[in-house]
Amino acid sequence: MHVDQPRTIRALIAATAPWLAKRGSSSARLDTDLMIGHALGLKRLDLYLDLDRPLSDDELARCRELVKRRGQGEPIAYILGHREFYGITLAVTPAVLIPRPETERLVELALSMLPDDAEGLFVDVCTGSGCIALAILEHRPGLTALAVDISGAALVVARANAITLGLDDRITFLEGDLLAPCADVRDARLVVSNPPYVVPGSPLLALDVAAFEPKVALYGEEADALGHHRRLVRQAAAILAPDGALLMEIGSDQGAAAMAIQSPLFASASVERDLDGHDRVLVLRR
Ligand SMILES: C[S@@+](CC[C@H](N)C(=O)[O-])C[C@H]1O[C@@H](n2cnc3c(N)ncnc32)[C@H](O)[C@@H]1O
């Protein structure tokens, strides 16, 4: 059977969206629009203003290449090369975890502890794309940040994001294990972190996440999913100001285990929920 090539934007959208839906994309139409727009260099609205525009062979080939990747399960943010997070746009590559909406809750909590005119330093451990540190800096112009990651490749992406956002003069990136590169820091306002906390094979982990996102960003320490959290609790008190706090993201099923990470170094502990009502952030106050 001969199937005609879709020759206009309209026909391409009509052919692509159902194809992606059949391959399991839960936002097939949006993904289709975003990828075709990306391949053609057009905003989504402009696609709709020009639905009957004919497509050249080159344009069709570019669209096909992106759609094929999505059909194989690759996350849309890696295909487009960027993701929105707390009102900022961040470049993302397969070297970094794609920033998640639930992590915006950690940013919201951190900002609620920092007055608009806050000054001083905070530390973002396990910075990945830099999303948490950069979102906080964007909203608190008097602060500076140290951002640590064990992955040099992730830090390349985070640094580029800081430059694009014009925040690079207020953030220093350090490569190393948790707070080891910050041994000389004192009086940090906050330590914030979204460390790896997934158990390999967890049913909560979507297959495309496990297949495409960096393992070093996902999995906790061997059998202990909260191993990074435990080590951070031991390390953070030494560098925090007397009224400082440690905020760490956790999995939705880890609230009780997180609360059990007791430490005499902190005066109080609580688990805060995200917008979906799931346990999401462990907050320890000095
Ligand atoms: C869950 S991702 C979080 C990335 C980013 N903060 C976010 O919220 O999207 C965890 C990050 O921690 C880094 N990482 C893993 N083990 C680490 C360690 N021992 N010390 C520092 N960074 C580590 C990974 O490279 C990865 O970038």
DSSP string spanning 164-230?
A: HTT-GGGEEEEESSTTGGGTT---EEEEEE----BPTT-TTS-HHHHHHS-HHHHB-BTTBTTHHHH
115 close to 153: Cβ distance less than 8 angstroms: no
Ligand 1, atom 27: nearest CA belongs to which residue? 128
Q: Report the pLDDT value the prediction gives residue 4, as an integer from 0 to 100.
A: 64
The neighbour count for residue 112, using CB atoms within 10 Å, is 9
> What separation in Å is there between the alpha carbon of 10 and the centre of ligand 1?
41
pTM: 0.94
Shortest-distance atom of ligand 1 to CA 195: 10
Atom of ligand 1 nearest to the CA of 98: 9
Ligand 1 center to 218 CA (angstroms): 8
Instruction: For residue 261, give the DSSP letter.
Output: -
Q: What would the pLDDT profile of 147-198 be if each residue is shown by its tens digit?
A: 999 999 999 999 999 999 999 999 999 999 999 999 999 999 999 999 999 8
**Looking at ligand 1, which residue's alpha carbon is closest to its atom 5?**
128
Provide the pairing of β-strand 188-193 with 240-249: parallel
How far, in Å, is the centroid of ligand 1 from the Cα of 156? 13
**Burial (Cβ within 10 Å: 0-12, 13-18, ≥19) of residue 144:** middle
> Distance (Å, rounded) from C-alpha 214 to C-alpha 218?
7
Q: 286 pLDDT exceeds 70?
A: yes
Instruction: Average the pLDDT over each of 45-54, 200-209, 240-249 and give the range with the smallest value.
Output: 200-209
Reply yes or no on whether the pLDDT at 2 is more than 60. no
Class of domain 87-285 (CATH, top level): alpha beta
**CA–CA separation, 41 vs 26, rounded Å?**
24
Q: Contact 220/198 with Cβ under 8 angstroms? A: yes
Q: Which amino acid is at 131?
A: C
Q: What is the CA radius of gyration of the chain?
A: 21
Looking from the CA of 192 toward its CB, the CA atoms found within 13 Å total 29
The fold adopted by the segment(s) 9-73 is: Helicase, Ruva Protein; domain 3 (1.10.8)
Tell me the β-bridge partners of 190.
Answer: 122, 245
**Cβ(161)–Cβ(191) under 8 Å?**
no
CA of 206: how far to CAs of 43, 106, 211, 269, in Å? 29, 22, 9, 30
3-state secondary structure of 53: coil
User: Which residue puts its alpha carbon closest to atom 24 of ligand 1?
Assistant: 217
Protein residues with CB under 6 Å of any ligand 1 atom: 96-97, 99, 103, 126-129, 131-132, 148-151, 154, 177-178, 194-196, 216-217
The residue-averaged pLDDT of 37-41 equals 96
Ligand 1 atom 19: the closest Cα is on which residue? 177
The b/e string for 201-222 (b: 16+ C-beta within 10 A; e otherwise) is: eeeebeebbeebbbebbbbbee
- The minimum-distance atom of ligand 1 relative to the CA of 197 is 1
| Helical ranges in 6-103 per DSSP H | 9-22, 28-40, 44-49, 57-71, 76-80
Confirm if 118 and 111 have CB atoms less than 8 A apart.
no
Most informative mutation of 100, 149, 161, 224 for ligand 1 (most atoms within 8 A of CB): 149
- Give the count of beta carbons closer than 10 Å to the beta carbon of residue 177: 13
- Domain ranges for the chain: 9-73, 87-285
Which pLDDT value is given to residue 105? 98
220 CA → ligand 1 middle, Å: 10
Distance, in Å, from the CA atom of 203 to the CA atom of 224, rounded to the nearest integer, reads 16
Residue nearest atom 17 in ligand 1 by C-alpha distance = 150
Residue 221, helix vs strand vs coil = strand
How far, in Å, is the centroid of ligand 1 from the Cα of 9?
40
Site to substitute for ligand 1 among 90, 126, 159, most atoms within 8 A of C-beta: 126
Instruction: Give 63 or 218, the one with higher predicted confidence.
Output: 63
Return the DSSP state at 79: H
Q: What is the pLDDT of residue 224?
A: 86
For residue 15, how far is its CA from the centre of ligand 1 (angstroms)? Answer: 39
